Amino acid sequence: MSEDTEGHEAGAEPGHPFFPHHVIDQLVILYLLIGVVVALAVLLPFGLHEKADPLRTPIGIKPEWYFLTTYQLVKYLVPEAIAFVVMGLAAAALVLWPFIDAAIERRAPGRRLHIKIGAVALAITIGLALLGYVSERHVTVLGQKYHINLKGWPERERTAGDVENQDGSP
């Protein structure tokens, strides 16, 4: 076997090494794409909205699902500090739960009150999260339009026909 055909099949062209040929091709493509993106950013800039106001939350902004319970609880408890104290106590109860469970006698059927308390707390948590999710929305149920207010209660939206009927005109 001769040195020129070693490592190649007979009749096949010898290939090009990965570096520098393929790397240079990829760098050319990368620079072309960067040039296109920069040109588009300069020629078609994205307009900024009004200046942010840290004291005013825009309409429709809600936290992620794991904060919806706290978000809704803050709406119901008037001094907001109370809501955060309640949530802190709930977090402390979750941390202490294994110790509470170990301290209570397991075999006595009347002493499973902590399970009932946990079930009620879980139901309240899920309920508050669902109310937080549906609050501040407009929905249509059986042809009637409703606005679900900040606290999660539905209010029927007034239409032009409702306003005319209140005035006493037919």
Taking phi first (over 0 means left), then psi (-120 to 50 degrees means alpha), and beta for anything else, what does residue 52 get?
A: beta
The pLDDT, as a whole number, for residue 42 is 93
Radius of gyration from C-alpha coordinates of the chain? 33
pLDDT band at 126 (very low <50, low <70, confident <90, very high): very high
Taking phi first (over 0 means left), then psi (-120 to 50 degrees means alpha), and beta for anything else, what does residue 7 get? left
Q: What is the pLDDT of residue 124?
A: 92
Highest mean pLDDT: which of 8-12, 22-26, 112-116, 143-147? Answer: 22-26
More confident residue, 54 or 28: 28
Q: Tell whether the model's pLDDT for residue 145 goes beyond 80.
A: yes
List the one residue out of 149, 153, 135, 138 whose CA is nearest residue 69: 135
Q: Which residue has the tokens 């879980």?
A: 122
pTM for this entry: 0.54
Is residue 107 within 8 Å of residue 113, measured between CB atoms?
no
Q: What is the pLDDT of residue 134?
A: 87
Distance CA 95, CA 97 (A): 6
Q: What's the distance, Cα to Cα, between the start and end of the chain in Å?
A: 105
pLDDT tens for residues 109-118?
A: 556 677 788 8
**In the chain, domain spans:** 65-135
Does residue 8 register a pLDDT over 70? no
CA distance 138 to 149: 9
